[in-house]
Structure 1
Amino acid sequence: MQNAISYRIADFLKKFPPFSYLTLKVLQEFSQEITIVHKEKNDVIFESEEKPHPHFYVVNKGAINLIKKDEGITIDICDEGDVFGLRPLMANENYRLEAKAQEESILYAIPIELFRPYSKVNASIGNFLVESFASNTRNPYSKSHKGQLLGDTVKFNPNNSGSRLLDVQLVEYSKSIISSSPGTKIKNIAQKMTKKEVGAMLIEKDELPVGIITDKDLRNKVATGEVSITGKAKHIMSSPLITYPRKLTVTQAQMAMMKSNISHLVLTEDGTTNTKAIGILSKHDVMVSLGNNPAVFVKAIKRAQSVDEIKPIRKGITNLLKGYLEQNLPMALTSKIISELNDACIKQIVALSLAKMENPPSAVFAWLAMGSQGRSEQLLHTDQDNALIFENVAKSQLEETRSYFLDLAKKVTAGLNHIGYEYCPADMMASNKKWCLSLDEFKKETKSWITNPGPDEILLSSIFFDYNRAYGDKELVDNLSEHIFETVSKYPIFLAHLASGALQNPSPTGFFRQFLVEQDGEHKDFFDLKRRALMPLIDAARVLTLSHNMTGISNTWERYERLAQLEPNNSEQYLSCSYASKALLKFRTRQGLLNNDTGRFISLEKLSKEERIKLKRTFSTIKDIQEVLSLRFMTSRVS
């Protein structure tokens, strides 16, 4: 006779991952071992630091709050189909959060030991559980989370491991290896582990790894009396070893540990036991790495209910940036990640500011990030450059509409200032009525710059034309972009003026290729990295982008990479510019983090000889691209 209850459980679970990856027949058999748990409102399922249960949970009906008890913060709310309580399955550690019923709820308790084999042999299940556990997202494939790990512009594909940031973030591991030989007495092994305060001992033969002994081995094999403490290491060591190469990502490490049900991985020079060990990775190391995962930051930002909650997260993002630079991740990837996190902060601050307004907006609008943030190149805390564009309204409603958005913009810019972004000294912010305009007003303004390009208009264009939509209506922004490109195509003389403006930034070097430093003022004898090195490359890319009617790309090195495709004869030069712009931004970021400032002004005395050489290598590229501008746009005619 069929078990009607287990069949109903199977039919329910089949709708939701990771159970949807199992066949219905397997699910029906599996569901016979599932326990149904009923909880009243405010009942506790498990408490923080409670020992792990022998099962994890799925919500059938109701809602469960996951609470960070020491801070009294609700981290997540799980509802129908959501999985929670995965820590016993993934890490075999005490619970970090408290789970409490928000309302009367029915849960399915899934036996861990019964489910573990499926997670090992089915990659889809394993990936789902790792993503859920690693990002604290109870269902990363749900409609509210799918594709949102990095914001709206980065898509998450569960079938493509290369698309997840957990797959590019390297784990930090212990490089201090404590080792012994297979013939070492177990007693000596235990004493050495205690003295060195380590949880694992590597066993090596002929300087190559052959096994590992962990605290668990000592408990399960020696303390139980199975093996005498006077025995030898080879009698209790885990062998053959599971080894991996040094560049191991968070996801790879978690999957490896889960697959083999182990707590330590040995890293070797080539990932095999045929080369020397270079480090040992523990579950604790993995958990530390997860604390600085961008997906965790994005979720925390979106959950923030006040600007005060975002401020410490922003500091965490800076620590993440430091880690990426230390790991020497590609600058393009680092910049993309940090810019997405910055955008997430802006979006949440705009949303929080809207919630403070007495009424909702009467017109569609968009918040524009300009300058370095618009180019996805603002890695350090610099000043704000932003604008607000709203849809066209009747003339009689224009000032009232603008007044509303100015009030909103003041709240947003104040919020950005609170989390670390200084107010723009030139007041190029949406809280200034000059930068809070309707679509038609912005069209009129930008057309005026293009058709009457004086020094001020060129300066404004060089800042504004690098905008990027951070929040709001996409069509508004696309409409404005189309207008700008169409107008530029009708008035090509503007490009000559813009190119001439780009050549105003002074050369990085003087006689004998010596650095040209500031001659007076607050930064006397310092080298201005932004004005003399970065800006010439940024300005040149902008002019060339406009000349090719290149839409949708605002990032400097991506512009040069696209130019290399459009002009194959000049590809080598453009790719050199792309490399130089990334190298200079990385250099500025390192200097800013080192000196706790914007990294713009550099003390040459503090640079090593190698750093000076690397800087100078980019200068010839700057000179070459400025010559291209001068010849192509005949800037001498407009000088």
Structure 2
Amino acid sequence: MKNTIAERIADFLKNFPPFDRIDKADVLCISKEVSVYYFEKGKTVYAAGDQLQDKFYIIHKGAVILQKEVLSKSETVDHFDEGDVFGLRPLFAKENYNTSAITEEESILYGIPLSVFKPLIAQNKEIVSFLIESFASNTENPFSKELDNNVFQSDVNFGNKELYELQPVIYTKKVKTASPETSIKAIAMLMRKHHIGCVVIESNMIPLGIITNKDLRNKVITGEHGIDEKASEIMSSPVLCYPSNVSMSQAQIAMLKHNVGHLCITEDGTPNSKIIGILSQHDITMMRGSNPSVLMKAIKRSNSTKELKRIHKRIMVLLDGLMQQNIPLTQTSKIIFELYDASIKRIIERCIEKMGKEPPVKFAWMSLGSQGRKEQLLHTDQDNAIIFENVPSNELEKTRLYFLQLAKKVTKRLNIIGFDFCAADMMAKNPKWCLTLDEWKEQFSNWTTNTGDDEILLSSIFFDFDISFGDATLTNELADHVLKLTKDNDLFLAKLGASALRSASPLGFFRQFLVEPDGEHKDFFDLKKRALMPIVDAGRLLALRNQIKNINNTAERFEKMAELFPDDKEFYLSCSYTTKALLKFRTKQGLLHNDSGRFIELAALSKEEKLKLKRCFKTIARVQDYIKLKFNLNNFL
């Protein structure tokens, strides 16, 4: 006799993480042991100090808040609604509960027994990782060192060609299929319509055979078979199948050994399970061509902007692969930064050649903003400037004209390869941002002494500069000047701090994401303005306050402060981890939607993705509170 209640519970659980990653049979097994609880509004599920229960909870209906006592007052730590899991402490800790769970409205909760749940997920690293993140997001420090040992760390080394060859392949997930009864003509029309080289012949998504361009050439065009015959007459069978984690070298060897150009990717790697993707020889070639060392050599050898543009398309393939393989963001950022930086260098070298004469004086090309911070993963807009050696006044404009002409050529080519022109014209081709060393020093002096809103905005862009080409002594001297200007400059730092707090907490009432109220992106979440900018601004402010030189990357700034101030190490590391997590999220969204990843459609996010963002937002709130206290900003707000 069927247990209909258990089936209903299982149907609900399968819609939410982590149960959406557990086999249906196992979810049903868990559901049979689930306890159902009804609570009126304001009732306590468990209290701080209580002994741990033998279960955790998922909300079927209603809402729950977590509270803790702070200076004899109850403070709400978190909110949960339908589909959220809470009460995970029994899974990861032995101490009693340190927060109280209280129903915020009439609620129905499912109690998930640990005795049944733990054995089923013990070997599933993905589920364990999700639960760790869920538990961490409910703690005071959601990025503690112990919880994040495996989240951002890896021993992958892309300088090693052999290791790169062992990375999982990137296969095509959108597979075109047909039944064995489909006509050969229909197969050919399908291939022509979608510009593809093969169609998998299947029954109930189980692969039976494959038809490729080669089959059409050898078996149909020769007259051996007619176009009205069935696909089953010319398909190659059986299909060579592999699992999704097949390595690049393994796939290449299999294709050579069996003299085939395609591999079918199935759920378990056999022809007896469902199709999940297709891998072609072209995909392997693209991946090999997107090896970082190959791309770097290609950039250095490039002799045209069109060639660099093609290379940058391959960099995007590489970036997509690194993100899909979950390579740590630290390594991904360094790889992509070096490739972008090499591209800038090569463009400047070629443009100097086109100028017909060498630069009249020493100069440096400065990358600003996200590229200056080594955080530009996607192709966004370009921010750059030129600093050149001081010259006599009678030679100044002639010298500046040379560099403006050079900058015009460089920015034009950067635009061609994928970096949009800056809408605010923060580029070296603008005379305002093509200055001598002394002019730049004067500019920074003005920003730090006569500080209004415009000066704060400009400071937030130009204070993150990094040399991409030229004489580093110029940028080093300017960096020393900036530190001298900001040392003990409490008024300027306070204004910079007040600006860093203008982006309110990304979460509004009852854990709702604050979205854009109107305009082109109405009802979308602005990830840059509401999440990335606050943490980036905080990193810059604290780096200036602590006179940290030549470290512009936000995560590395916080890591340096963790080193300098060991008593606050956990706090600073949490800020570093948050920066990486937000950059990774934006990059994935940008690759998914082929845009900058800035504006996020919340309805398209899963519960797990929202959880990860919420985890980051907690750290943002903490760092904003820290800045408010550290810089005594109540008078500025």
TM-score class, shorter-chain normalisation, is 0.5 to 0.7
Q: Which residue among 529, 534, 552 is the counterpart of 2:550?
A: 552
Q: Which residue of 2 aligns with 1:172?
A: 169
- Structure-to-structure mapping, 1:141-180, within 5 angstroms: 163-164=159-160, 167-168=163-164, 170-172=167-169
Q: Which residue of 2 aligns with 1:575?
A: 573
Q: Which residue among 417, 425, 428 is the counterpart of 2:426?
A: 428
Q: Which residue of 1 aligns with 2:562?
A: 564
Post-superposition offset of 1:351: 1.1
Alignment-mate amino acid for residue 504 of structure 1: R
Q: Per-residue CA shift, 1:192-236, capped at 9, x if unaligned? A: xxx8689xxxxxxxxxxxxxxxxxxxxxxxxxxxxxxxxxxxxxx
Q: Which residue of 1 aligns with 2:135?
A: none
Q: Which residue among 578, 586, 598 is the counterpart of 2:584?
A: 586
Distance 1:373 1:591 in 2: 19
Q: Per-residue CA shift, 1:140-167, capped at 9, x if unaligned? A: xxxxxxxxxxxxxxxxxxxx97743663
Change (3 A) 1:249 1:451: farther
Aligned residues of 2:169 and 2:245 also touching (Cα < 8 A):
no
Distance 1:610 1:425 in 2: 35
Post-superposition offset of 1:305: 1.1
Distance 2:282 2:569 in 1: 47
- Say whether 1:312 aligns with 2:310: yes
Give the TM-score, by structure 2 length.
Answer: 0.59
The 3-state SS of whatever aligns with 1:382 is coil
The 3-state SS of whatever aligns with 2:364 is strand
Distance 2:521 2:282 in 1: 45
Query: Any unmatched runs of 5+ in structure 1?
Result: 1-159, 177-194, 199-244, 265-280
Q: Which residue of 1 aligns with 2:323?
A: 325
Q: Per-residue CA shift, 1:498-547, capped at 9, x if unaligned? A: 11111111220111111011111111111000000010000000001111
Q: Which residue of 1 aligns with 2:391?
A: 393
Q: Which residue of 1 aligns with 2:526?
A: 528
Q: Which residue of 2 aligns with 1:50?
A: none
Aligned residues of 2:516 and 2:524 also touching (Cα < 8 A):
yes
Q: Which residue of 2 aligns with 1:222?
A: none
Distance 2:168 2:468 in 1: 31
Distance 2:554 2:539 in 1: 6
Q: Per-residue CA shift, 1:238-279, capped at 9, x if unaligned? A: xxxxxxx979687x999x99xxx9999xxxxxxxxxxxxxxx
Q: Which residue of 1 aligns with 2:292?
A: 294
Q: Which residue of 2 aligns with 1:541?
A: 539
Q: Which residue among 393, 399, 403 is the counterpart of 1:405?
A: 403
Q: Which residue of 2 aligns with 1:608?
A: 606
Q: Which residue of 1 aligns with 2:126?
A: none
Distance 2:443 2:620 in 1: 31
Structure 1: 4+ residue segments shifted above 3 A: 160-169, 173-176, 195-198, 245-250, 261-264, 281-289
Distance 2:171 2:461 in 1: 46
Distance 2:348 2:543 in 1: 30
Distance 2:441 2:447 in 1: 10
Distance 2:636 2:419 in 1: 37
The 3-state SS of whatever aligns with 1:367 is strand
Identity between Structure 1 and Structure 2 (%): 52
The 3-state SS of whatever aligns with 2:535 is helix
The 3-state SS of whatever aligns with 2:487 is helix
Post-superposition offset of 1:374: 0.7
The 3-state SS of whatever aligns with 1:469 is strand
Aligned residues of 1:528 and 1:601 also touching (Cα < 8 A):
yes
Change (3 A) 1:161 1:582: closer
Alignment-mate amino acid for residue 617 of structure 1: R
Aligned residues of 2:448 and 2:485 also touching (Cα < 8 A):
yes
Alignment-mate amino acid for residue 307 of structure 1: T
Post-superposition offset of 1:398: 0.8
Q: Which residue of 2 aligns with 1:414?
A: 412
Aligned residues of 1:541 and 1:556 also touching (Cα < 8 A):
yes
- Structure-to-structure mapping, 1:17-32, within 5 angstroms: none
Q: Which residue of 2 aligns with 1:622?
A: 620
Distance 1:378 1:174 in 2: 26
What is the root-mean-square deviation of aligned Cα atoms in Å? 3.7
Post-superposition offset of 1:285: 8.6
Distance 2:389 2:402 in 1: 13
Q: Which 10-residue stretch deviates more, 298-307 or 490-499?
A: 490-499
Distance 1:331 1:604 in 2: 23
- Considering Cα pairs closer than 8 Å and 6+ residues apart, tell me whether 1 or 2 has the greater RCO: 2
- Structure-to-structure mapping, 1:181-580, within 5 angstroms: 289-580=287-578
Distance 1:439 1:317 in 2: 34
Aligned residues of 2:169 and 2:248 also touching (Cα < 8 A):
no
Distance 2:339 2:172 in 1: 31
Distance 2:450 2:563 in 1: 32
